[in-house]
Amino acid sequence: MALTGLFLCTFLVGHLAGNLQLVFSTGEEGKRAFNEYAYFMAHNPAIKLLSYVTYISILFHIVDGFMLTIQNKKARPVGYAYNKPSANSSMASRNMAVLGTLILVFLATHMANFWWKAKVSEDKFPLHVKEISFQQNNEMTGQVQKQTMKLYLTTAGNYVPVDGFIVKNKTELYEAQLNAQKVELKMGEGYKDLHSLVFAFFGHDKTKQGFPINDMALAGLIFYVISMLVLGFHLWHGFSSAFQTLGVNHPAYTPWIKKIGYGFAILVPGLFALIPIVIFITK
């Protein structure tokens, strides 16, 4: 529990760093930067490996926690008629399994809302606009002209000009596509618009590109914020508890581990919760 828990703490920091870009990346350029970051996170082999370690850690943390809870329940088949646990322990420390289960429920909805949509439901997911430059031979003059155009990648694998791009006739569009397909080899597969997905989920109507406005945005936001509160309580006990389990306890530094743990439990879920709040308010 301790090792996976602490590893998942580092995962939270990484995830938070990524999410914070949502707030700090403004405008089309910021959107592009965020989506490029998301693309990098989904395709870099090292990150991929790290993500598998994360999945395994989460699973182990769940299964181990579940088994320990069952064992611990068995250790006291008959409970007390009158018990006053608040006299000697914190609420969070006594309810780690409940808090963990609530986090698991959150995780399921979280994965369904973002991870699943981003990863699997590719067809419903318009791609991010990418400005590309390509070379075109001018047949009349024989000169090579450098041109730029805005394109996005379709699910079929073709670059298609964004609406509004001046296409004089079908032939020109076709040629642009052809040339763009040559460029595609260098460009990669394009970027999924995770940025717009997140903003649309939390009620933004500024995002065009076919994202329906989420009518349940406020409910989604409240659920998210409550889940972060739950995560905060889980970390409030979990962070320093992990060190104790690993045998790290010393009068000189244990008080600091506890303080850092409390700080972590407030700061990390707090910032996580702040991001959708900011997105929701600025809609």
Minimum CB distance to other proteins smaller for 136 or for 245: 245
Q: Does 157 bind other proteins (CB under 8 A)?
A: no
Binding residue for other proteins (CB under 8 A) from 68, 213, 226, 278?
A: 68
Name the segment binding other proteins (CB under 8 A); options: 98-106, 155-163, 195-203, 238-246: 238-246
DSSP string, 104-161: HHHHHHHIIIIIIHHHT-GGG-PBPPEEEEEEEE-TTT--EEEEEEEEEE-TTS-EEE
Minimum CB distance to other proteins smaller for 6 or for 20: 6
Binding residue for other proteins (CB under 8 A) from 46, 55, 71, 166?
A: 71
Structure tokens at 109: 């909805």
Structure tokens at 263: 């700080």
Q: Does 78 bind other proteins (CB under 8 A)?
A: yes
In the chain, what is the straight-line distance between the N-terminal and C-terminal CA atoms, in Å? 40
For residue 25, the SS3 value is coil
Q: Does 237 bind other proteins (CB under 8 A)?
A: yes
Interface of this chain with other proteins, residues 173 to 212, rule: CB under 8 A? none
Length of the chain equals 283
- Strand arrangement of the beta sheet that strand 144-153 belongs to: 130-137, 144-153, 159-161
For residue 85, the SS3 value is helix
Minimum CB distance to other proteins smaller for 101 or for 158: 101
What is the 3-class SS of 38-61, one letter each residue?
HHHHHHCHHHHHHHHHHHHHHHHH
Q: Does 241 bind other proteins (CB under 8 A)?
A: yes
Using alpha carbons only, give the angle 203, 265, 41 rounded to the nearest 5 degrees.
Answer: 55
Are 180 and 261 within 8 A, CB to CB? no
User: Minimal distance in Å, beta carbon 265 to other proteins?
Assistant: 15
Minimum CB distance to other proteins smaller for 211 or for 243: 243
Q: Does 77 bind other proteins (CB under 8 A)?
A: yes
User: Minimal distance in Å, beta carbon 220 to other proteins?
Assistant: 32
Minimum CB distance to other proteins smaller for 68 or for 112: 68
Indicate the burial class of 265 (C-beta count within 10 angstroms; 0-12, 13-18, 19 or more). Answer: buried
Binding-site size for other proteins (CB under 8 A) equals 33
Interface of this chain with other proteins, residues 79 to 108, rule: CB under 8 A? 79-85, 87-90, 93-94, 96
Q: Does 244 bind other proteins (CB under 8 A)?
A: yes
Please give the backbone phi and psi of residue 135, each rounded to the nearest 5 degrees, phi first: -105, 140
Binding residue for other proteins (CB under 8 A) from 74, 146, 168, 208?
A: 74
User: Minimal distance in Å, beta carbon 234 to other proteins?
Assistant: 12
Binding residues for other proteins, rule: CB under 8 A, are 68, 71-72, 74-85, 87-90, 93-94, 96, 237, 240-241, 244-251
